[in-house]
Amino acid sequence: EISEMSERSKQNVAHGLAWSYYIGYLKIVLPRVKKSMEEFCRANPNLLACRKTWKLHILVPLSCDVYDDLEKADSNIQYVTDLTETTLARAGTKKRVYKHSLYAIRDEENQLWHCAVEYATPLQSLYAMSQDECAAFSREERLEQAKLFYRTLEEILKGSKECADAYRLIAYEEPEEAETHFLSREIVWHLRQEHHEEIAVLEGNHPHTPSMALDSAELNLQISVSDLPQPLRTDGF
């Protein structure tokens, strides 16, 4: 009976997608990210000088609007190269390849920031479900599912020792009026935070929010009225 109620209210969709994403992908690739970064840095010592950025930056747009080409999403985001790929036998597929792309993100001062970044691919499924009559997902239900997906994934990753310090979730709600470089600014905000965190650790201080934080840094959403407000940013700022 409880299962049927969950099915009718679609409460299990985002929860299942988050667990599948973690078990079937993140738990496999995240423990290998730092090694890939180290290999890249040996050949390109100046591009990823900040070790705090040696992680996979995962974009979580609450609109579920996922671009297959990040360069088309924002012209200030430019593909650089692919990191060392991992090849595994997986579910009957021989030599399944897992890899991440490194991008250069240009900020408002024309400075380049480098990081591995990609979308959380299950959001494509949520978007497709909202377009499919069989799934009968409304836009509002999709938004709630996207929030639940983020919160579930965040909790899963927080409890994962294998994935510790190998990821950064970047959840955001796009502005109502289109902004050409919104996404690049959002990513750069996080990269600046990571640089700030590294400097604070080296100096023996606790990280704190820089004085020139972007307005989007204040983003704060809830899943429902029954939940306490939770910050979308995984760093607590």
DSSP 228: P
User: Which is more confident, 124 or 4?
Assistant: 124
Examine the pLDDT at 217 and tell me if it is beyond 80: no
Examine the pLDDT at 18 and tell me if it is beyond 80: yes
Mean pLDDT of the chain: 81
Examine the pLDDT at 218 and tell me if it is beyond 80: no
**How distant is the alpha carbon of residue 162 from its chain centre?**
17
27-52 tens-digit pLDDT: 999 999 989 988 888 888 777 778 88
Percent of the chain residues topping a pLDDT of 90: 50
Q: Which residues contact 167 (CB under 8 A, 6 or more apart)?
A: 26, 30, 33, 55, 56, 57, 58, 157
- Rounded alpha-carbon distances, angstroms, from residue 174 to 9, 65, 101, 217, 222: 26, 9, 23, 12, 16
**How distant is the alpha carbon of residue 54 from its chain centre?**
14
Q: From CA 3, how far away is CA 130, in angstroms rounded?
A: 22
pLDDT of residue 140: 85
Q: Which residues contact 39 (CB under 8 A, 6 or more apart)?
A: 83, 84
Are 83 and 36 within 8 A, CB to CB?
A: yes
Sign of the dihedral defined by the CA atoms of residues 9, 12, 15, 21, in that order: negative
pLDDT of residue 168: 97
Tokens of 198: 């590294």
pLDDT of residue 232: 45
- Type and span of the H or E element at 130: helix 122-131
Examine the pLDDT at 210 and tell me if it is beyond 80: no
186-207 tens-digit pLDDT: 999 999 999 888 777 666 665 4
Tokens of 150: 């983020």
Are 95 and 86 within 8 A, CB to CB?
A: no
Q: From CA 153, how far away is CA 14, in angstroms rounded?
A: 9
pLDDT of residue 2: 45
Averaged over 126-148, what is the pLDDT? 82
pLDDT of residue 101: 95
Examine the pLDDT at 209 and tell me if it is beyond 60: no
If one looks up domain 13-204 in CATH, what number appears? 3.40.50.12100
Q: Which residues contact 119 (CB under 8 A, 6 or more apart)?
A: 58, 59, 60, 61, 66, 67
pLDDT of residue 92: 84
Q: Which residues contact 16 (CB under 8 A, 6 or more apart)?
A: none
Kind of pairing between the strands at 93-98 and 56-61: unpaired
Does the model's pTM come out above 0.75?
Answer: yes
User: Which is more confident, 174 or 120?
Assistant: 120
* Confidence bin at 3 (pLDDT 50/70/90): very low
